[in-house]
Chains A and B, each alone.
Chain A
Amino acid sequence: MVATGREQSATPTPKSLRQATYGSLEALSPYLLVLPVLTFMGLFVYWPLVYSVYLSTLDWNFVSPVREFVGLENFLELARDEAFRQALFNTGLYLIVLVPLLVLLPMGLALLLWPVRRSRAQGIYRAVLFAPTVVPFAVAAVVWLWIFNPLQGILTQVLIAAGGDRINWLQNPDTAFWCIVAVAAWKVLGFNLILYIAALESVPRDYLDAAELDGAGQWALFRYVRFPLITPTCFFVLVTTFIFISDEVFAAINVLTRGGPFGKTTNLLYYLYERGFESFQVGTASATALVLFAAVISVTWLQFRFLERSVHYG
């Protein structure tokens, strides 16, 4: 019998036991490393989602000891509620207006700022355009209320100086929606702009030089070199703007119009806030949250399914 050195001893030695323990722990180490993040996400993202499904089947106010199970009645109630339908319609309208605006306008601005990227003015431009992102809405609200003040606001003064009539911007159903659009766009524009500027700066100089040597003009450089290489950023901006723009619109609604005039500016998130945190209709608010979640996840899936194929990851 040839000794192969692999024979196991009858009882494990302390050294082999230690090695086996460390082997098991090494296998577990990746899971231990991600455990804190998973725990956090489980507690603050996935568990609330599951719990919302349960809450959406109840008629409850968080305080009463009686929780009445109503099944899908809350969802049916939403379908019957005119205020919900108005909020749903407005949400769609906000997305149709704001998503293209906040995907394309920052890109255009980034291209305009590109020629001055080496100058001292670049820092000033970036600071001015990014500042709204970091200004809290509660602070900005006072300024915006003054801007939209129908008696003395700057917009009114300009309009009257130009020979126009006084407009009650936030109370007029024809203008209030566009005021919210303007404020939400003002808040998000800078962040998307910075992303585009970073993406443009990451385009390898070699590609641009080679294209210029081949006689490419500015448009051709953008169309065939820059744009394909920044499509990952474009896609990221598109997806994140779609997902998060409702938050910014909510903040603008909350400080400027509170959903009025007569529901013309409300969105699903504000409707959810009113039902859940003012009227304490937990079931209705949870049902609204699930509808919103389903809509967002569906559109995001469609974006990944049909648009991601156009993204050039290099």
Chain B
Amino acid sequence: MNQQRKISRRALLKGSLAAAGGAVLAPALAACGGEGRGVQDGVNPNGKIAIEYWIGVSQDTTTAFQSLIDEFNEANPNVTVNLKSYPSYADVAQALQTAAAARKMPAVVGLGYKELRYAAELIPHANIPDLPGFNAGWLEQNFAKAILDLGKVNGTQHIMPFLLGTPYLFYNADAFEQAGLSGPPRTWLELRDHARRLTDEIGRPSFSIPEEGYMWAYQSFIESNGVRLLEDTGSGYRVGIDGAGGVEALQLMAGMILEDETAVLVDDEQAAQSFQSGQLPLITGAGATVRAAQKQGNFNVGSAPLPVWEGKQKRVPVAGNGFFVPDVEPERQAAAWQMIEFLNEPETLTRWSEATGYPPPRSGLMDDPQYLKAFFDENRILRPELEQLGDEAVPYISWPGENGLEALEVLVDARDRIITDGQEAAPTLREAARRAEDLLND
């Protein structure tokens, strides 16, 4: 009996050791198997270079990117670009931070302009002019200063701008007609009147700037009234939202939401649901919203530039993303620049704009009959975005330092307290501006 028990324990022990050994070896064996792509990320022994390109855009835009990347891979047998998609720019930034901490960064990232300062200050990277193969003349000849400035911090080109978007007005043209409105509003005060007439017609709020938790169209709304949300004075940062223009702007919005009940603050998703179903006839947004509404075909969709404050210089923040090249081996950086050059060729940009509706970053293509003139003439609904990329274009604020997002949060909270909770604008904004400055200058 004892002999039998010893034998079964022996067998159990052998089995346990085998299982423990397998548990240790299995991950190592799996790793040896590789990812099955045939080309490892980096410089391969056969000379082929593989790089990853990280982006955080919508599904439609990702599809457009993938199509262009496939063309590049076919045309460049020595380089393979693998596109890696994330849900948003913020997710890309988080992943990049993690990759930087692990010292395993991709060769090129589609970094949002809002994340520019954080990446420029914190992530080891190559400035665009330092990339292998870079041609300064090509850049200056083909890209407008205002576009290049989107990727600069203190004069240094950290990002090569690519995807450009400005917020503009979208409206339900059929609802406008029913309310007796001949066209979109030109000024913010006209917009208030338009919203009243629409609400009288439909019996519910008719306008929204759907920016819960951030300020994009709101940056234009406030800064176009003569204030600057953020200024670098040289000796520190100054937050100017509490200026007379900021107070007036938010008082107007509070009046629309709380007194007139013609406007409402909702989430992006809720605004898209309501606009596309015809429930909310006037919103601000990006091109993706209008394209989705057009696809549904429930009503005629109109577009217009953001309104102005009478007699004041309009400012429209340009959002989107550009190419950011982390500090990796020179061979991968060279491959990244090769891809960037390909994507900025006129023919490639033409296919890009036609697929996505986004304007090309390169000068001269939109009005060139050989490239995009016919497309943008035919798609007049996209024209407001192009018009706003001229003198009115300014960078979308990239809040600096490790407290930058917290400072933005303070301003957004103040905005929400005023427009949804009815708190007094001037003292609320004054306190918020000082708190934000303390955070930024900490």
Contact = CB atoms under 8 A, between A and B. Distances in A.
Interface of A: 22, 25-26, 29, 32-33, 35-36, 61-64, 83, 141-142, 145-146, 148-152, 166, 168, 170-173, 256-258, 260-263, 274, 277-281
Contact of A29 (B13, B279, B420): B13
A151 B420 contact: no
Nearest to B421: A173
Given A29-B13, A278-B94, A260 B212 contact: yes
A62 B23 contact: no
The secondary-structure label for the interface of chain A is: loop
B274 interface: yes
B259 interface: no
A260 B213 contact: yes
A32 B416 contact: no
Nearest to B118: A280
A36 to B, nearest CB: 5
Contacts of B420: 168, 171-173, 261
B67 interface: no
A260 B413 contact: yes
B13 A26 contact: yes
Nearest to A29: B13
Contact of B100 (A32, A36, A63): A63
B279 to A, nearest CB: 5
Contacts of B64: none
Given A36-B20, A261-B421, A279 B9 contact: no
B267 A170 contact: yes
Interface residues on B, range: 35 or more
Contacts of A35: 20
16 contacts: A26-B13, A61-B97, A62-B97, A62-B100, A63-B100, A63-B124, A83-B406, A141-B269, A151-B266, A151-B274, A166-B261, A170-B266, A170-B267, A278-B90, A279-B403, A280-B97
A63 B97 contact: yes
B13 A171 contact: no
Interface of B: 6, 9-10, 12-13, 16-17, 20, 23, 90, 94, 97-98, 100-101, 118, 122-124, 204-205, 212-213, 261, 264-267, 269-270, 273-274, 277, 279-280, 402-406, 409, 412-413, 416-417, 420-421
B392 to A, nearest CB: 29
A241 to B, nearest CB: 28
Contacts of A171: 212, 264-266, 416, 420
Contacts of B101: 62-63
A277 B277 contact: no
B266 A150 contact: yes
B10 A22 contact: yes
Given A29-B12, A278-B90, A280-B122, A149 B97 contact: no
Contact of A152 (B12, B273, B409, B417): B273
Nearest to B435: A82
A149 B94 contact: no
A309 B256 CA distance: 59
Contacts of A150: 205, 264, 266, 270
Contacts of B421: 173, 261-262
A145 B269 contact: yes
Nearest to B91: A277
A36 B405 contact: no
A152 B417 CA distance: 24
Nearest to A257: B212
B270 A262 contact: no
B122 A61 contact: yes
Contacts of A261: 413, 416-417, 420-421
Q: Which of B280, B403, B416 has the most CB of A within 10 A?
A: B416
A257 B270 CA distance: 12
A256 B268 CA distance: 11
Nearest to B414: A262
A257 B269 CA distance: 12
Nearest to B274: A151
Contacts of B16: 29, 32-33
Given A152-B277, A166-B205, 5 more contacts: A142-B269, A146-B273, A151-B274, A261-B417, A262-B413
